[in-house]
Amino acid sequence: MKKLFIYITAGLTLTAGGCKKFLEQPPDNRAELNTPEQVAQLLGTAYPQGNYMAFAESSSDNMADKGAGEMDLTISDPYHFINVREDEQDSPENYWNSCYAAIAVANLALETINTAANQQAYAAQKGEALLARAYAHFMLVNFFAETYDPATAASKPGIPYVTMPEKVVIQQYERKTVAYVYEMIEKDLLAGLPLIDDTKYKVPSYHFTRVAANAFATRFYLFKRDYTKTVEYANLVFANGNVVNMLRPWNTVYKTKTYQELWALYAKATEPANLLLVETVSWWGRNYFTNRYGFTSAKRDQILGANVTGGPWAFRNHVYTQGVLNYMMPKVNEHFVRNSVNANIGTGYVVVPLFTAEEVLFNRAEAYVYLNNTTAALADLNTYAATRIDDYNAANHTITANRIRLFYGINDPQTGILRTIIDFKRAEYVQEGMRWFDILRYRIPVTHSFTDAAPDILMGDDPRRLFQIPQSASQSGIEPNPR
User: DSSP for 370-393?
Assistant: HTT-HHHHHHHHHHHHTTTBTT--
Q: Distance between CA atoms of 80 and 54, rounded to whole angstroms?
A: 13
Q: Distance between CA atoms of 387 and 275, rounded to whole angstroms?
A: 18
Question: DSSP states of 432-455 as a string?
Answer: TTTHHHHHHHTT--EEE--SSS--
Q: Helix count (H) and strand count (E) of the chain? A: 19, 9
Q: Distance between CA atoms of 144 and 163, rounded to whole angstroms?
A: 19
Give me the half-sphere count of Cα atoms (radius 13 Å) on the Cβ side of residue 214: 18
- CB atoms closer than 10 angstroms to residue 338: 11
End-to-end CA distance of the chain: give it in Å, rounded.
19
Q: Distance between CA atoms of 304 and 207, rounded to whole angstroms?
A: 32
- Determine phi and psi for 276, rounding to 5 degrees: -155, 130
Q: Which residues of 36-65 are buried (b: 16+ CB within 10 A; e: fewer)?
A: bebbbebbebbbbbbbbbbbbbbbbbbbbb
**Do the Cβ atoms of 48 and 97 come closer than 8 Å?**
no
Please state the pTM of the whole predicted model.
0.92
Q: Which residues of 428-450 are buried (b: 16+ CB within 10 A; e: fewer)?
A: bbbbbbbbbbbbbbeebebebee
Burial class of 181 by CB neighbour count within 10 A (0 to 12, 13 to 18, 19+)? buried
Select from 381, 402, 401, 377 the least CA-distant residue to 392: 381
**Do the Cβ atoms of 443 and 460 come closer than 8 Å?**
yes
Q: pLDDT tens per residue, the chain (483 residues)? A: 444 333 333 333 333 444 444 334 444 444 578 899 999 999 999 999 999 999 999 999 999 999 999 999 999 999 999 999 999 999 999 999 999 999 999 999 999 999 999 999 999 999 999 999 999 999 999 999 999 999 999 999 999 999 998 876 678 889 999 999 999 999 999 999 999 999 999 999 999 999 999 999 999 999 999 999 999 999 999 998 889 999 999 999 999 999 999 999 999 999 999 999 999 999 999 999 999 999 999 999 999 999 999 999 999 988 988 877 899 999 999 998 988 878 889 999 999 999 999 999 999 999 999 999 999 999 999 999 999 999 999 999 999 999 999 999 999 999 999 999 999 999 999 999 999 999 999 999 999 999 999 999 999 999 999 999 999 888 888 999 999
The amino acid at 253: V
**Per-residue pLDDT at 167:** 74
Strand partners of residue 324:
none
Give me the half-sphere count of Cα atoms (radius 13 Å) on the Cβ side of residue 110: 22
Strand partners of residue 337:
347
Strand partners of residue 307:
none
**Do the Cβ atoms of 177 and 156 come closer than 8 Å?**
yes
Q: Distance between CA atoms of 348 and 246, rounded to whole angstroms?
A: 29
**Per-residue pLDDT at 444:** 98
Q: Distance between CA atoms of 184 and 307, rounded to whole angstroms?
A: 40
Task: Say what angle helices 413-428 and 401-408 make with each other, to 10 degrees.
Answer: 80
Kind and range of the H or E run holding 353: strand 346-356
The amino acid at 91: S
Q: Distance between CA atoms of 43 and 326, rounded to whole angstroms?
A: 38
**Do the Cβ atoms of 113 and 40 come closer than 8 Å?**
no
- Helices within 115-254 (DSSP H only): 123-144, 178-192, 210-223, 227-237, 243-246
**Do the Cβ atoms of 48 and 136 come closer than 8 Å?**
yes
Pairing mode, strands 274-281 and 320-322: unpaired
Q: Which residues of 350-385 are buried (b: 16+ CB within 10 A; e: fewer)?
A: bbbbbbbbbbbbbbbbbbbbbeeebebbbbbbbebb
Strand partners of residue 355:
276
**Per-residue pLDDT at 31:** 57
